[in-house]
Amino acid sequence: MSRRARLLVLAFGGCGLALLFALAAFRLPDFGGTSHPYGQRTLPNAIAHHTPNVISSINFDQRAFDTLGEELILMASALAAVLILRTVRAEQEDAAGKHAYGPAQVFDALRITGYALLPVTIMTGVYIVAHGYLSPGGGFQGGVVLGSAIHLVYLSGDYPALARIRPIPMFEAGEALAAGAFVALALAFAGQVTAMNAVVGLEVGSAVVLTLAKFFEQALLVRKDT
């Protein structure tokens, strides 16, 4: 299809979508109004179960079964990314020690800041996971912070240092264990918000580390066999 024809099809579909969306939007209740029937039904449950952060209460208590699905989507997609980015036959992988950096030059100031921020970032991640039932945060958010924090070692050190502090088999085992534990918690003990936050934090952190590890390998280590 030529670009012109494609734009014409897009204009037709876009106008239709815009029209239907506008028609629907003007039938919605007033913006900022007080009618939130579903939200208001969740509040007494959250308070009765002593989970001040209502969003954690919804995700891990009232809708724990739905979060189970979300959790398995996360695991399946991390697994798929690892599979897609495997080393294929015509390629070979260099040892982690052979390449120190990617193409970017790292400044000394950035390096020192990275080392200084590493413990602070890990602390923040653990705090966000552990305090998720009480204050804004939770396993998903804290897990991303924890998973990204480890990569400060790459920014401030080099790739061999990063490869040393994140042994991939351990994170693979952590991912699988956390997913299994979450299934058990969601099916049998829904409402254990703190435990579920911790398990989700572990799983999300492992998934981030594993996926980024594969991207790192592709960028730094894998090359075509010549």
Partner 1 sequence: MSQFLYLIPGWILLAGVYGIVTSRNLVHAVVCLSVAQSATYVLLLTIGYQRKATAPVFSDIKPTRNVVDPLVQAMTLTDIVVGATVTALLLALTVQVAKRRGTVDPDDLRSLEP
* Residue 6, amino acid: R
Question: Closer to partner 1 at the Cβ: 36 or 164?
Answer: 36
User: Is residue 185 classed as helix, strand or coil in its secondary structure?
Assistant: helix
The least distance separating partner 1 from the CB of residue 158, rounded to whole angstroms, comes to 22
Residue with tokens 């956390």: 178
- Candidate segments 13-21, 92-100, 145-153, 155-163, binder of partner 1 by CB under 8 A: 13-21
- Candidate segments 26-34, 100-108, 122-130, 168-176, binder of partner 1 by CB under 8 A: 26-34
Positive or negative, the CA dihedral 158, 168, 213, 75 is negative
* Residue 64, amino acid: A
Q: Which residues pair with 224 in a beta bridge?
A: 91
CA 106, CA 110: separation in Å to the nearest integer?
7
Identify whether the C-beta of residue 169 lies closer than 8 Å to the C-beta of residue 159: no
| Residue 218 DSSP code | I
User: Is residue 144 classed as helix, strand or coil in its secondary structure?
Assistant: helix
Is residue 186 at the binding interface for partner 1, with CB under 8 A as the rule?
no
Is residue 45 at the binding interface for partner 1, with CB under 8 A as the rule?
no
* Residue 157, amino acid: G
The least distance separating partner 1 from the CB of residue 56, rounded to whole angstroms, comes to 8
Greatest Cα pair distance in the chain: 67
Is residue 18 at the binding interface for partner 1, with CB under 8 A as the rule?
yes
Question: Closer to partner 1 at the Cβ: 31 or 107?
Answer: 31
Per-residue x/- track, 155-174, partner 1 (CB under 8 A): --------------------
Per-residue x/- track, 95-134, partner 1 (CB under 8 A): ---------------------------------------x
User: Is residue 222 classed as helix, strand or coil in its secondary structure?
Assistant: strand
Is residue 136 at the binding interface for partner 1, with CB under 8 A as the rule?
yes
* Residue 91, amino acid: E
- Which residues are near partner 1 by CB under 8 A? 3, 6-7, 10, 14, 17-18, 21-22, 25-26, 28, 30-34, 36, 38-40, 42-43, 46-47, 52-55, 58-59, 63, 66-67, 70, 73-74, 77-78, 80-81, 84-85, 134-136, 138, 140, 144, 204, 211, 214-215, 218
